Amino acid sequence: MIKDGLIKLGFKPTLKLFTDLMVWYDATLGPRYTRYHSDDPFAIEQQMDVIQYAGIDGIRITYQGLNCATSGIQTEAARVITQQCEKRGMLCVLLLDPGIAKKAGTTPLETGVMNQLLDWQVQEILKSPAYLRDQNGKPIIMEFDLASSAGAGFNLANLQALLPQYTIGSKHKMYSWADMPWTAATQTAYANDNANPAMLMPGVMLEFNDAGFVNADGTIDNNSEVWTKGAPFREAKSLAGNFYFDQLAAVPRSTDYLSLITWNDYRERTTLEQFFAAQAGVRIGS
């Protein structure tokens, strides 16, 4: 479906489309943003049905590790999604959220991240035949700003040295992501990232809006970003698709992979899920 439009725009018929799946919806976040818990096998199967209906080939799983508040839900969801990818002939890859380093549980932090990735539950994912690998057959692990977000002392090069059996890739280098605010400077940086020959998976999104801090009494402050009270929210309006097409213009047509950001990050309003669920006639979580 989406791929037909991309091919029309000059992308290769063999292009593999990924989308970013958030797996942290629990009894607290679920009712506020979705109709499901992320580890509900029935809801996951419905999600995968709709994702395939949209013509998407792979899942990038945003994962906060074994020590986060919702680790049980996230880890089980990631495992079930991986199993679904195996069953459906799809691909999957992990994207490490800064939470995996913030809750590393050790000093140095890199050791704690390594320990979580070597746990049998995560190993089940990384060893899956559906898991994305580099040209040398090494599983790829992507990370989202761990060094800048996890605090002093985290060194990505040290983590890579501890895990030579994996290829660890970062934003701006292995994959691209439109940074907010979307200004002339961030647009130029995004285009430069995609021009890098080492860029594996450019990413595009339809829109972005992270307004909506939840106050202690449950009311919503739409003048603050969802993460921090008083911090101004950031927004990139879809403008009839212009934001999406501006990003696509900076993506090489020869790319083998493209990520659609995101499937279900409702807090930053980059979601695709509701549009394709409506088209497919599937009420996820029912």
pTM of the model: 0.96
User: What local confidence, expressed as pLDDT, does residue 151 receive?
Assistant: 66
Locate all alpha helices (DSSP H) within the chain, ordered by sequence: 2-8, 29-33, 41-53, 71-88, 99-102, 109-117, 120-126, 146-149, 156-162, 184-195, 242-248, 273-280
Token pair for 240: 């009839």
Per-residue pLDDT of the chain (286 residues; tens, 9 = 90+): 799 999 999 999 999 999 999 999 987 776 778 889 999 999 999 999 999 999 999 999 999 999 999 999 999 999 999 999 999 999 999 999 999 999 998 889 999 999 999 999 999 999 999 999 999 999 999 999 998 876 667 899 999 999 999 999 999 999 999 999 999 999 999 999 999 999 999 999 999 999 999 999 989 999 999 999 999 999 999 999 999 999 999 999 999 999 999 999 999 999 999 999 999 999 998 7
14 CB burial (10 A radius; 0-12, 13-18, 19+): exposed
User: What local confidence, expressed as pLDDT, does residue 33 receive?
Assistant: 82
Q: With CA atoms as reference, report the closest residue to 177 among 97, 240, 277, 109.
A: 97
Question: 3-state DSSP: the chain helix, strand, coil percent, rounded to 5?
Answer: 35, 20, 45
User: What local confidence, expressed as pLDDT, does residue 35 receive?
Assistant: 84
Could you identify the residue written with the tokens 């059996």?
165
Domains, the chain:
2-206+241-280 (3.20.20.80)
Q: With CA atoms as reference, report the closest residue to 171 among 197, 191, 199.
A: 199
* Gap between the Cα atoms of 227 and 30, Å rounded: 17
User: What local confidence, expressed as pLDDT, does residue 180 receive?
Assistant: 96
Could you identify the residue written with the tokens 């800048």?
148
Backbone phi, psi, residue 147, to 5°: -65, -40
User: What local confidence, expressed as pLDDT, does residue 252 receive?
Assistant: 97
Q: With CA atoms as reference, report the closest residue to 149 among 227, 46, 49.
A: 227
